C-alpha cells in the first residue's frame, strides 16, 4: 500500500516535476566497459484529449433551402434532442458551444472553465445540469437588423436563462469512464422578459475535454473570453451555425499525451527477456510498474533472477514532455539489455524493447521499442479515465496475458512519445 500511494503521487506530479537538466543534457564520460542508456519523452503537449461536433436530426426550410442537422423546438424526441459521448477523469471538464439559431449572433456555451464532471471525492455528476450553461452575444451583429458590429462578447442573462430553453442530462459509464450528454430543446412557446419569442432551433455545436498536466487544465477557455472580441471561428458559428471552422481549430490541438515513469533496466544473459514474455501473465512487479509507475517491486523481483546481472533505475521522478533520464550500464560481449517504463496516462500500459538488444549495440533504439498492455487492468481512454493513477484511481482488475496495445484508441506513434538511445 505504501508503494501504491507513493506511485500515485508520482504519476499525479508527472508534468510539474522537471528532470534536472544539469545531470541530463551532458552525457557523462564512460569507460570502455560502460554505456549510457537514455529515455526521452518527446510527446507534443496538446490542449485537448478529445473534441468533436454534435448535431441534431431536424431540418427546416429557409429561403428555398433545407437546413439540416438542427435540434428543433418540437415534441418529437427524434428531432428535439442530440447526444454525444466523451471521456474524462476527475478534474477534467466538458466545454461546448452552439448557435442560438433564431438570432443574428447569439450562442450557448458551457460555463467557464467548463462543466464539472466529478465531485471532490471523485464521484461522477449525473442528471440534469442545465444550470451549467450560459447564453452569449458574440458582438459581431446588431441583434434586430443584423448590421455588422465590432463589440466584445457579453452575457445576455437579462433576456432569459438557458434552462428556460433547454434541458441537459448527463449520464455515466463507470467501466469506460465515459459520459453521455443529451441536449433537449425546450424552447417551444418560450418568450423573453419583453414578450418576444425565444423559440429557436439549436445549430450543430463543438465540444472539447481539456488535457491535464500537473493537475491543471491546459485550456480553461477554448472558445472565447467574456469581455473580449470574438474569434473568426466563433463568429462563423454564432452567425451561421457552421461549426466546422471552430472544430478544425480545436481538432488541431487535440491528441493523447502522457508522462513516463522512471525506467527499469536490466543487463542479462541468455535469450529470454527477464522483464516479460508476450502471451504470458505479468508478474506482480510488472503489474505495479504498468499501473502505478512503481519501480521498486519490479526491481526486487528482477534482482532474484539468476540470469540478471544488473538492475538499474533510470530517473527518480516521472519523465515529463521535453525531458529525459539516463543510466550508465555495464557492457560485455554477449550480454543483453532490456527496459520497461509506464505509459503514465494509462491503466496498465508500458513501453519496452520488442527485440533483443546487446549491451554493445549503439544508436537509436526507438524502432526496437513498443507499447504493451500488461493485461492487469481494464483499459480506459488514455488521459481521460477515472480509474487511472493519473486521477488517483485504481484500475479495474483484469486477468489477461501481455500483448501489444492495439488501435482501439487514437494513440500517437511510439516515436512520437519516446526516444531511446544507447551510447
Question: Using one digit for the tens of pLDDT, what is the confidence trace for 131-180?
Answer: 999 999 999 999 999 999 999 999 998 667 888 999 999 999 999 999 99
DSSP secondary structure code for residue 149 in this structure: -
Q: Tell me if the domain spanning 2-45+257-422 has CATH number 2.60.40.2130.
A: yes
Question: Using one digit for the tens of pLDDT, what is the confidence trace for 50-101?
Answer: 999 999 999 999 888 999 999 999 999 999 999 999 999 999 999 999 999 9
Q: DSSP states of 20-70 as a string?
A: -HHHHSSPPP--TTEEEEEEEE-PPP-SEEEEEEE--SEEEEETTEEEEEE
What's the pLDDT band for 32 if we cut at 50, 70, 90?
confident
Mean pLDDT of 98-113: 96
Mean pLDDT of 11-31: 45
Sign of CA dihedral 259, 263, 264, 267: positive
Task: Count Cβ atoms below 10 Å from residue 374 Cβ, excluding itself.
Answer: 28
CA atoms of 135 and 158, how far apart (whole Å): 10
Whether 73 and 199 have beta carbons less than 8 Å apart is answered as yes
Whether 337 and 265 have beta carbons less than 8 Å apart is answered as yes
pLDDT at site 193: 81
CA atoms of 383 and 85, how far apart (whole Å): 16
pLDDT for residue 22 is more than 70: no
Q: In this prediction, what percent of the chain has a pLDDT beyond 90?
A: 87
Sign of CA dihedral 110, 79, 138, 241: positive
Spatial neighbors of 304 by CB under 8 A, at least 6 apart, are: none
Where do the structural domains in the chain lie, given as residue ranges?
2-45+257-422, 50-251
The residue with greater pLDDT, 283 or 196, is 283
pLDDT at site 157: 82
Region of poorest pLDDT, from 212-216, 238-242, 270-274, 327-331: 212-216
Instruction: Reduce the DSSP state of residue 12 to 3 states and report it.
Output: helix
Question: Using one digit for the tens of pLDDT, what is the confidence trace for 260-308?
Answer: 999 999 999 999 999 999 999 999 999 999 999 999 999 999 999 999 9
Compute the half-sphere exposure of residue 142: CA atoms within 13 Å on the CB side of its CA: 5
- Mean pLDDT, the chain, rounded, equals 93
Amino acid at each position: 500500500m505504501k508503494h501504491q500511494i507513493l506511485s500515485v503521487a508520482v504519476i499525479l506530479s508527472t508534468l510539474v516535476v522537471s528532470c534536472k537538466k544539469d545531470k541530463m543534457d551532458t552525457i557523462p564520460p564512460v569507460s570502455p566497459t560502460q554505456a549510457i542508456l537514455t529515455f526521452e519523452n518527446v510527446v507534443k503537449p496538446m490542449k485537448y484529449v478529445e473534441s468533436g461536433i454534435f448535431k441534431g436530426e431536424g431540418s427546416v426550410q429557409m429561403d428555398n433551402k433545407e437546413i439540416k442537422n438542427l435540434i428543433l423546438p418540437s415534441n418529437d424526441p427524434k428531432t428535439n434532442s442530440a447526444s454525444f459521448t466523451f471521456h474524462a477523469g476527475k478534474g477534467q471538464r466538458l466545454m461546448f458551444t452552439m448557435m442560438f439559431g433564431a438570432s443574428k449572433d447569439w450562442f450557448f456555451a458551457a460555463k467557464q472553465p467548463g462543466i464539472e464532471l466529478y465531485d471532490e471525492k471523485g464521484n461522477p455528476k449525473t442528471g440534469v445540469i442545465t444550470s451549467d450553461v450560459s447564453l452569449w452575444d458574440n458582438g459581431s451583429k446588431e441583434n434586430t437588423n443584423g448590421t455588422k458590429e465590432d463589440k466584445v462578447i457579453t452575457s445576455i442573462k437579462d433576456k432569459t436563462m438557458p434552462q428556460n430553453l433547454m434541458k441537459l442530462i448527463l449520464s455515466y459509464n463507470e467501466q469506460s469512464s465515459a459520459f453521455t450528454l443529451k441536449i433537449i430543446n425546450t424552447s417551444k412557446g418560450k418568450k423573453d422578459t419583453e414578450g418576444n419569442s425565444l423559440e429557436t432551433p439549436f445549430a450543430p455545436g463543438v465540444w472539447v475535454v481539456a488535457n491535464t498536466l500537473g493537475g491543471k487544465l491546459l485550456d480553461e477557455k477554448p472558445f472565447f473570453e467574456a469581455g473580449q472580441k470574438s474569434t473568426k471561428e466563433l463568429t462563423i458559428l454564432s452567425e451561421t451555425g457552421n461549426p466546422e471552422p471552430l472544430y478544425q481549430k480545436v481538432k488541431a490541438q487535440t491528441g493523447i499525451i502522457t508522462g513516463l515513469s522512471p525506467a527499469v533496466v536490466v543487463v542479462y544473459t541468455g535469450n529470454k527477456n527477464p522483464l516479460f514474455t508476450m502471451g504470458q501473465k505479468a508478474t506482480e512487479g510488472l503489474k505495479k510498474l504498468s499501473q502505478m509507475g512503481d519501480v521498486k517491486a519490479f526491481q526486487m523481483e528482477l534482482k532474484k533472477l539468476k540470469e540478471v546481472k544488473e538492475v538499474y533505475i533510470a530517473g527518480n521522478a516521472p519523465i515529463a514532455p521535453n525531458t529525459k533520464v539516463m543510466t550508465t550500464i555495464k557492457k560485455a560481449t554477449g550480454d543483453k539489455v532490456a527496459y520497461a517504463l509506464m505509459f503514465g496516462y494509462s491503466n496498465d500500459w508500458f513501453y519496452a524493447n520488442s527485440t533483443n538488444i546487446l549491451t554493445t549495440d549503439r544508436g537509436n533504439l526507438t524502432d526496437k521499442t513498443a507499447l504493451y498492455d500488461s493485461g492487469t487492468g481494464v483499459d480506459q481512454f488514455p488521459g481521460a479515465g477515472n480509474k487511472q493513477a493519473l486521477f488517483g484511481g485504481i484500475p479495474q482488475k483484469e486477468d489477461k496475458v501481455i500483448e501489444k496495445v492495439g488501435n482501439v484508441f487514437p494513440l500517437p506513434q511510439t516515436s512520437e512519445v519516446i526516444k531511446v538511445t544507447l551510447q
